[in-house]
Structure 1
Amino acid sequence: MSDSNEETRRDERLAAAWRAAATTLTRGPREATVGECLARLAEGPYAYDMDAPADIYGDGIVEELERRVAELLGTQDAAFFPSGTMAQQVALRCWAGRTGNPVVALHPMSHPEMWEGDALSTVSGLRVVHPTTEPRQPTPEEVAAVREPFGTLMLELPLREAGFLLPTWEELVALVEAGREREAVIHFDGARLWESTVRFGRPLPEIAGLADSVYVSFYKSLGGLSGAALAGPRDFVEETRVWRHRYGGQIFRQFPQALSALAGLDRELPRLPSYVAQARMVAGALREAFAASGVPWSRVHPEEPHTHQFQVWLPHDPDRLTDAGLRQAEETGTVLFRRWSAGGPPGLAVTEVDVTGPGLSWTESDVHEAVSAFVSRI
């Protein structure tokens, strides 16, 4: 059997094991079937008039979603986008036009640099500079030391690839001030901004109020089907709607995405602080369990999670660890870790841990037992 066939077979086993597991820290988007997604969408109840006409080109329920987002973030307006990639491309392009400077200062581990196929330069004609290449948030001193003018400072909150890292509130304020001292506008990549209130100790409007524009996702923390929003001043958001049309984002009908996003705002958003608290318990229990298990070295990063997601590092081959987690899921019905990769520090495998509703029932003892079962299969 070829390597590609073996990989496909393992992917199928992983998906089947995750779906069948009775005990898990989260339910991933790859586990749901089409039928399950449809059933969940039809569940209700919704705080929206289901007898209202279906949307056409962004009216109706889409406008209601935009209103809710602007209200939650304390901005003048918000625009729905079919994807975060499109939303951020449009935001950064609009700011470049307004500032007259096509240079964007951002982290090399941020989403536009890692996952968008060089779209900033290829599609939008923008150029980037990196205040730092270290796997952490930049410092105000590094922003101040960038050697050329830049029109926009983009901050990813949290910085996912580095371990879902957030600055402290004081550090964030200083970063924004450093950007403004460089006469740059501030854009927050807030795909996961919803759960940042715990770390910052501030409400969403105060956090979003530091920036000139904010992007938020509806599926990465809220469990929506897809979609994103750009929020900011009314004239800026109106301009982004023009570019949304030009980029192909003026979609005829979007009520499934809008309805699931509204459900996420109603049901998941209030629960996110409890997920963060539980993730911190799980992280501490993982450290203790690995120390007691005989594993020569391990790390939970960051030591106290900044959100409900964090990384675990182990000095083993990532395929070996993925297979161990697969066997644990198949044999015990418990999913502790999912996929591992070599994307961490040299010689270490890394995985992301996500704690949501299904993980709220876990105790420290449950984590210890799951780690013991996992380690025995490495």
Structure 2
Amino acid sequence: MKETVSLKEAFRNCSYRLGGHGKYNVGALKEAFQDIEGTLESDIYGKGKVIEDFQDKMAALLGKEAAVFFPSGTMAQQIALRIWCDEKGIKKVAYHPLSHLEIHEQDGLKKLHSIETVLLADKTRVIEIEDIVSMEEEVSSVLLELPQREIGGQLPSFETLEKISAFCQEKKIRLHLDGARLLEVLPYYGKSAAEVCTLFDSVYMSFYKGIGGIAGAILAGSESFIEESKVWKRRYGGDLISLYPYIISSDYYYNQRYEKMPLYYEQAKVLAGHFNSCEHISTLPEVPVSNMFHVYFQLPAEQTEKVLAELQQETGIGITSYLNSSGENACYFEISLGDSFEDVPKEKVTETFGILKEKMKTATLSQ
């Protein structure tokens, strides 16, 4: 009998993984550059064909006048909100309590720009039109994250987005889209990227999350907005002498995976069904609205970790490398579907969840 190892080590040793695009290593850069001519000229401080062509391509995709490539989404979004604050002369923005800017950026917006935040809705649900209409404080802009990652990737209806957009236009409040995973929500909405983005004044999209590039982000909007963002990009130190490794990998993996987003979405619904068929396991949302969702266990994290580590060792199927506690007797992890799920033999998936069902029954009886 194998000696039980940690959850992280068991995951690392698996032959297959249910989520993601495969192991994250330098091979991604090598693959992206395999057909690139060595004579291709580098971008220089934000100028040059390699960066300008990609920016134009993304502006067209998002239906905006212009776009600029940033090394990080954190930089891009802080700059976007600063521009909207300066435009209106009000240093207040509104967003969800679990926005990336609020919980993952060390108060960058507040410390670097002295921008105050107004938190909309409660932590368990998405922002609705009523949350914005009932705001008592005047703000320069509202940020919407699609999907809302920290609550399982939930989404407001498209009709709600239209209502929020119309209200913000009427009140002259700028609407910014945190679209880090924008491409992943398009199958659920049944809309093009441009159709979604036309509701927003500015848009950010990531190239390393669902797309699987090395790093980098795009910020898109009007010509004047993008020109101002380029000034701030220089101030932030984001104008590296060259960004072509990020741009080339972003373009390569965008081309590889853009049309596969509907497949990832359908696979997510199938996988969520497997988890929900197990006793004391549930997903949020129950039926995914993108390629990502959260998996909840009604067991303490320490006990669940043992179950999953043993399962991954026995089957060679990687489910997760970590767990987050969500209470004394509950825990969860996040999963995003990508290329890896296609490589897992379907009979292995069925076998793995059959074993998981039995392990969950045993674990709950031993409590």
TM-score by length of 1: 0.88
Which of the residues 310, 315, 321 maps onto 2:298? 315
Partner secondary structure for residue 33 of structure 2: helix
Query: What is residue 5 of structure 1 aligned with on the other side?
Result: none
Residue number in structure 1 paired with 2:235: 246
Output one character per residue of 1:207-262: Cα deviation in whole Å (capped at 9) or x when no partner.
01100000000001111000111000011001000001101101011111001000
Q: Corresponding residue for 1:58? A: 46
Q: What value does the CA root-mean-square deviation take over the aligned residues?
A: 2.1
Runs (5+) with no aligned partner, structure 1: 1-8
Show the counterpart of 1:327: 310
| Within-5 A mapping of 1:123-138 | 123-138=112-127
CA distance in 1, matches of 2:135, 2:345: 46
TM-score if structure 2 supplies the norm length?
0.90
From the superposition, tell whether residues 319 and 257 of structure 1 become closer, same or farther in structure 2 (CA, over 3 Å). Answer: farther
> Percent identity between the aligned chains?
31
Q: 2:268 aligns with which of 261, 267, 279?
A: 279
Report if the CA contact (8 A) 1:131-1:145 is conserved. no
**Which residue does the alignment assign to 1:32?**
24
Change (3 A) 1:366 1:170: farther
Counterparts of 1:1-378 in structure 2, within 5 Å, are: 10=6, 14=8, 17-27=10-20, 31-34=23-26, 36-43=27-34, 45=35, 51-60=39-48, 61-288=50-277, 290=278, 295=279, 297-342=280-325, 344=326, 347-361=329-343, 366-375=348-357, 376=359
In structure 2, distance between residues paired with 1:245 and 1:319: 46
Q: 1:345 deviation in Å?
A: 6.2
SS of corresponding position for 1:246: helix
Helix, strand or coil: the match of 2:80? helix
Instruction: Find the aligned partners of 1:362 and 1:275 in 2 and give their Cα distance.
Output: 14
Q: What is the SS of the residue equivalent to 1:117?
A: coil
Deviation at 1:132, TM superposition (A): 1.2
Go from structure 1 to structure 2 and tell me whether the alpha carbon gap of 1:27 and 1:21 turns closer, same or farther (over 3 Å shift). farther
Report if the CA contact (8 A) 1:149-1:182 is conserved. no
Aligned pair in 2 of structure 1 residues 95, 283: CA closer, same or farther (>3 Å)? same
Unaligned runs of 5+ in 2: none
Contact 2:16 2:343 in 1 (8 A): no
Q: Distance in 2 between matches of 1:168 and 1:84?
A: 25
